[in-house]
Amino acid sequence: MISETSSSMRRLPVCLGVAGLTPFVITTVAVFIAPVLWQAVAIKAFLFYSAVILSFLGGIHWGVAMSLDRDTSPAFNVRLAVSIAPGLLGWAALMIDYRLGALTLMIGFWLMRLYERQPESLERLPGWYQGLRSLLTAVVVACHLAVVARLSLIG
């Protein structure tokens, strides 16, 4: 794992990561308590934001491949292929039924987290990132489950 030189290096990513949860949480709450027309807006906003963030996670791995993997290694090729998959999955999820789209995005977050827990990723990603991503993924998956439950109730 990449070593950290100070705890302040972790503070900003944690603050930004938690701030990034705000749209997930706000739109999830709105899906339940907003007036009906605003619930529809909240569902779309949730799905679009989810697709954007899932794509962002893919971009992280493109950057890791470009900076930490040898471009002649199999790991480089795999990481580049993995890095593009979240964006494609997110794009596809926006074109299908909302409930299925939310499930698809949730699975995408879960799969990215599993990939980041693989030995080659553990070697290349900082320890603080691993802990932060576990927390963020848990909240994001919970939000997706709540939205899926709400969509199941309203048909």
Inter-CA distances, 144 with 71, 72, 78, Å: 36, 38, 27
In a domain, 11, yes or no: no
The helix or strand, by DSSP H or E, that contains position 18, with its residue range, turns out to be helix 8-33
Half-sphere exposure of 92 (CA within 13 A, CB side): 12
Residue 47 lies in a domain: yes
Tens-digit pLDDT profile for residues 38-54:
999 999 999 999 999 99
Tally the domains of the chain: 1
> In terms of residue numbers, what domain contains 113?
25-154
Instruction: Encode pLDDT of 72-105 as tens digits.
Output: 888 899 999 999 999 999 999 999 999 999 999 9
Q: Above pLDDT 70, what percent of the chain?
A: 94
Check residue 5 and give its pLDDT.
47
pTM: 0.89
Domain-located, residue 42: yes
Residue at 83 is within a domain: yes
Whether residue 38 is contained in a domain is answered as yes
Lowest mean pLDDT among 2-6, 17-21, 58-62: 2-6
Looking at the domain assignment, is residue 95 inside a domain? yes
The DSSP output letter for 94 is: T
**3 occurs within a structural domain:** no
Is 19 part of any domain?
Answer: no
Q: What HEC string does 23-65 produce?
A: HHHHHHHHHHHCCHHHHHHHHHHHHHHHHHHHHHHHHHHHHHH
